Structure 1
Amino acid sequence: MKRWLPSPLLSLAVFVVWLLLVATVEPAHLLLAALLAVLLPLSVRRLREEQARMRRPLVAMKLALVVLWDIVLSNIEVARRILGRESRIHPGFIWIPLDIRNPHGIAALAGIITMTPGTLSAELSPDRRHLLVHCFHLGDAAATIAQIKARYEAPLREVFP
């Protein structure tokens, strides 16, 4: 089984994302999704340094709910600022010191930050200890860093050993 599905979660994700992208469950697309779910992880297996090992799935599910909630709130906040006076927008960059060392956890953190409207992961330092983030509106840099570390990085450290 491990030979044909080296990463079952990745295969499942590819399968589901393909079906969501094509927005149909016709037999041909089900077959194509299954084919992609098997072939893509097999083809990229050699490119990965190490396999992603997740633990604490309940923490991961709770984090997913937090991220979804933050995406909704961030959409509202960004829309409010865009529709308001331009002088009330203060963009800026911040370097977030990282406690997480797992490369998969760092990638997940960068993805979460980028998916959340109003923030964008811009660069990872060569030593993987700092993440540069652009904020559409940066009020208090220290508070923003603390919020990202508490809401996203801390749970990711539990999920990725």
Structure 2
Amino acid sequence: MKRYVPQPILSLVLLVTWVMLSNRVGPGEVLAGALFGLGIPHLTRAFWPGLRLARPLLVAQYISALLRDIAVANLEVALLVLGPKKRIKPAFVRYPLELKNEFATIVLASTISLTPGTVTVDVDLKGRALLIHCLNAPDPAALVQRIRRKYETPLKEILP
């Protein structure tokens, strides 16, 4: 089965996304979505690392927590930007990594960049650190602890 559908979740996501973008559920849309869902994973097979998820159910929790954090961060950034400018305390924060898995490190860097108000500026794999720019970081140590607790610790369990 893996030979025909190398990335089943990606295939399903592509199919559903295509049907949603088409704004119709007809045989043509479903067929086109299925072709994209089966074709794109085959064309991009060389780019996918051989992932081994130690706790696949934790992925759903991770994604739901990330989506919730993105929504909350959007509101916080809006209040910061629309409020008095003196409240904003931007900072560059060096984040020491505990992750050993290179792919997990990239997922963490992307997670940080997806969250409004923070962006990963540099990934130093040799020095095992990320450089993060934060729109409002009155306490950089608290930011490091929050990222470690909410994102890095679950990633260590998901991608050992």
TM bucket, shorter chain = 0.7 to 0.9
Shift in CA distance, 27/133, structure 1 to aligned 2, threshold 3 Å: farther
The alignment partner of 2:44 has SS state of helix
Moved more, 136-145 or 63-72: 63-72
Q: Distance in 2 between matches of 1:23 and 1:120?
A: 33
Shift in CA distance, 121/33, structure 1 to aligned 2, threshold 3 Å: farther
> What residue is the counterpart of 1:72 in the other structure?
71
Q: Distance in 1 between matches of 2:159 and 2:39?
A: 25
- AA partner of residue 12 (structure 1): L
The alignment partner of 1:25 has SS state of coil
Shift in CA distance, 19/152, structure 1 to aligned 2, threshold 3 Å: farther
Over 6 Å off, 4+ runs: none
Q: Which runs of 5+ in 1 are unaligned?
A: none
TM-score of the two chains, using structure 1 as the length reference? 0.87
Shift of 1:58: 2.7
CA RMSD of aligned residues (A): 1.9
- AA partner of residue 6 (structure 1): P
Moved more, 149-158 or 6-15: 6-15
The alignment partner of 1:2 has SS state of coil
1:10-39 Cα offsets, whole Å, 9 max, x none, are 222333333444444343332222112112
Shift in CA distance, 101/22, structure 1 to aligned 2, threshold 3 Å: farther
> What residue is the counterpart of 2:31 in the other structure?
31
TM-score of the two chains, using structure 2 as the length reference? 0.87
The alignment partner of 2:53 has SS state of coil
Moved more, 1-10 or 145-154: 1-10
Q: Distance in 2 between matches of 1:22 and 1:114?
A: 29
Q: Distance in 2 between matches of 1:149 and 1:29?
A: 42
Identical columns (%): 38
> What residue is the counterpart of 1:54 in the other structure?
53
8 Å Cα contact 1:101/1:128 also seen in 2: no
Map of 1:4-153 to 2, 5 A cutoff? 4-48=4-48, 50-127=49-126, 129-153=128-152
